[in-house]
C-alpha cells in the first residue's frame, strides 16, 4: 500500500475509530479544519458543494433550503471535506438572511484557509416563487500571484458558466 504526502495527524473531525463530534449549536470557523497544500506554488481551483443546506428565516423561523458551493484557489491550506460538511450542518438551526449567510461563510473560510481567492455561492431554493442566489467573493490582493489568480478565476468562471446553462 502506498501513502500520500498529505499531513493529516492534526485533523480531529474524522474522529478516532469513526467517531465524529457534531457541533450543532452554531456555525463558527472553529468547526472547519485544514491541511497543508502540497502545491502552494501552483494555483488551482478547488470546488466543494453541499446540496443539502438548510437554515432558518430570522423572521418566520421557516426553513430555507439550498446548495452552498465554495470555490477557492488555496495558498497554504486546504479545507478538510468532512469538517466542511459539519460546518454546513451547524447552520440547520441558525436564523439569518441568505445574504448574511453567504458573507459569513466567506469570512469564515478566509479566516481558516487564507486562500488566494474564494467565492461562496448560495443557490437557495425558491420560496414564494422567488429564486435567490448570493455570490460573495474574496481575492488575496497582497499575493505575488494576484494577477495570475485573477486570470485563472476568469477562465474558471467562463468554463463553469458553459456547463451550467
Which three three-digit cell numbers place residue 130?
422567488
Among 64, 75, 108, 118, the active-site one is 64
Residue closest to 112 by CA, chosen among 69, 84, 77: 77
For the residues 63-71, what does the mean pLDDT come to?
Answer: 96
End-to-end, the C-alpha distance of the chain in Å comes to 42
For the residues 107-113, what does the mean pLDDT come to?
Answer: 98
CATH number at residue 113: 3.30.1130.10
Which three three-digit cell numbers place residue 63?
426553513
The reply, when asked if residue 99 is annotated as ligand binding, is: yes
Among 6, 57, 114, 142, the active-site one is 57
The reply, when asked if residue 79 is annotated as ligand binding, is: yes
Q: Quick check: is 6 in a domain?
A: no
Beta strands in 57-104 (DSSP E): 63-73, 77-79
Whether 57 sits among the annotated catalytic residues: the reply is: yes
Specify the pLDDT at position 128.
83
Q: Quick check: is 126 in a domain?
A: yes
Residue 102 has pLDDT above 60, yes or no: yes
| Distance separating alpha carbons of residues 102 and 109, to the nearest angstrom | 11
The reply, when asked if residue 81 is annotated as ligand binding, is: yes
Q: Quick check: is 90 in a domain?
A: yes
Whether 64 sits among the annotated catalytic residues: the reply is: yes
User: What total number of domains does the chain contain?
Assistant: 1
pLDDT tier at 143 (50, 70, 90 boundaries)? confident
* Tens digit of each residue's pLDDT (9 = 90 or more) over 25-62: 789 999 999 999 999 999 999 999 999 999 999 999 99
Q: Tell me the residue range of the domain where 92 lies.
A: 21-163
Q: Quick check: is 1 in a domain?
A: no
The 3-state DSSP class for residue 105 equals helix
Residue closest to 35 by CA, chosen among 89, 91, 104, 83: 83
Contact 23, 83 (CB under 8 A): no
Amino acid at each position: 500500500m502506498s501513502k500520500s504526502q498529505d499531513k493529516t495527524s492534526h485533523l480531529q473531525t474524522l474522529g478516532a475509530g469513526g467517531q465524529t463530534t457534531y457541533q450543532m449549536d452554531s456555525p463558527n470557523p472553529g468547526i472547519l479544519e485544514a491541511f497543508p497544500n502540497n502545491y502552494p506554488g501552483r494555483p488551482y481551483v478547488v470546488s466543494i458543494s453541499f446540496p443539502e443546506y438548510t437554515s432558518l428565516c430570522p423572521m418566520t423561523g421557516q426553513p430555507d433550503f439550498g446548495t452552498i458551493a465554495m470555490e477557492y484557489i488555496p495558498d497554504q491550506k486546504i479545507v478538510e471535506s468532512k469538517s466542511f460538511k459539519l460546518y454546513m450542518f451547524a447552520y440547520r438551526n441558525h436564523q439569518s438572511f441568505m445574504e448574511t449567510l453567504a458573507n459569513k461563510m466567506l469570512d469564515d473560510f478566509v479566516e481558516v484557509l487564507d486562500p488566494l481567492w474564494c467565492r461562496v455561492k448560495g443557490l437557495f431554493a425558491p420560496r414564494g416563487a422567488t429564486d435567490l442566489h448570493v455570490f460573495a467573493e474574496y481575492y488575496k490582493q497582497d499575493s505575488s500571484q494576484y494577477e495570475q489568480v485573477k486570470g485563472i478565476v476568469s477562465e474558471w468562471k467562463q468554463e463553469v458558466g458553459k456547463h451550467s446553462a
